[in-house]
Amino acid sequence: MKVIKTKDLKKYYNAGTELEVRALDGVNLNIEQGEFTAIVGPSGSGKTTLLNIIGGLDSPTSGKVIINGQDITGLSENELIDFRLHHIGFVFQAYNLIPVLSAYENAEFIMLLQGRPEVERRERVTKLLTDVGLEKQLDKRPAQMSGGQQQRVAVARALASKPKFVLADEPTANLDSKSTAQLLDIMKKLNEEEGVTFIFSTHDQRVIDRAKRIITLDDGKIISDVEQELTKNEK
């Protein structure tokens, strides 16, 4: 089942001028449910722009983004906010945790916005933070945690609302090898056990090696789209 479809997606900056930049230049893409996909390419190739437009954080110059059969490019800002709240999980390079909230409260935050009952919130958040190995860190604030721990809280937060898919923009950029391996193991497990679709924007070869599908962008265009066979250790 297709979760995401883009049709001739374009994003131009300074369109029609000598300084025109074609961040995306006619991207057609289909993402199926349960994929574990890496979008790769050099800096400036359009990776983050593509993720931001798929996630409704930015608008295309032209083209369409269709998620679960709905064209989100025609939604108002308030409609987009509501759509993101209920359908999309985000994991950012900078974590974007709320400093004054504990790990538990950060992971719970999206569910609070959704108006979920307290019993459901407690059960879901406790399970997720346990799944990511933070069952003893529930009351700690971001400043009291390592980068790897903060990123795991961010993953738990992204998954708390049971989104259709998770967009992860350079999620391992600030992590050491051990933390990266742990984080990828966690996301792979959630991908396989809960069927969560993960789409990464990354330069990190460690992420690329674990992805089942590699989409390469250059100058705003898809130049390669391949499935890769994973070794037993990578699966």
User: Measured at the alpha carbon of residue 91, what is the angle toward residues 80 and 29, in degrees to the nearest 5?
Assistant: 65
DSSP per residue, 164-206: SEEEEESTTTT--HHHHHHHHHHHHHHHHHH--EEEEE---HH
In a domain, 132, yes or no: yes
In a domain, 118, yes or no: yes
In a domain, 235, yes or no: no
In a domain, 204, yes or no: yes
Least Cα distance to 194 among 226, 167, 160, 231 occurs for 160
In a domain, 234, yes or no: no
Extract the runs of DSSP E, i.e. beta strands, from 33-143.
36-40, 62-67, 70-71, 88-92
Sign of CA dihedral 116, 122, 123, 128: positive
CATH code for the domain in which residue 47 is found: 3.40.50.300
Residue 174: the pLDDT is: 79
In a domain, 90, yes or no: yes
In a domain, 140, yes or no: yes
Q: How many CA atoms lie within 13 A of 100 on its CB side?
A: 0
Model pTM score: 0.88
Residue 19: the pLDDT is: 80
Blockwise average pLDDT, block size 10, the chain, 235 residues: 91 82 94 94 91 93 93 92 90 90 95 93 93 91 93 90 89 84 87 90 92 94 87 53
Work out how many domains the chain is built from and give that number: 1
Residue 145: the pLDDT is: 94
Domain that holds residue 99: 2-227
Residue 233: the pLDDT is: 52
Residue 23: the pLDDT is: 94
In a domain, 82, yes or no: yes
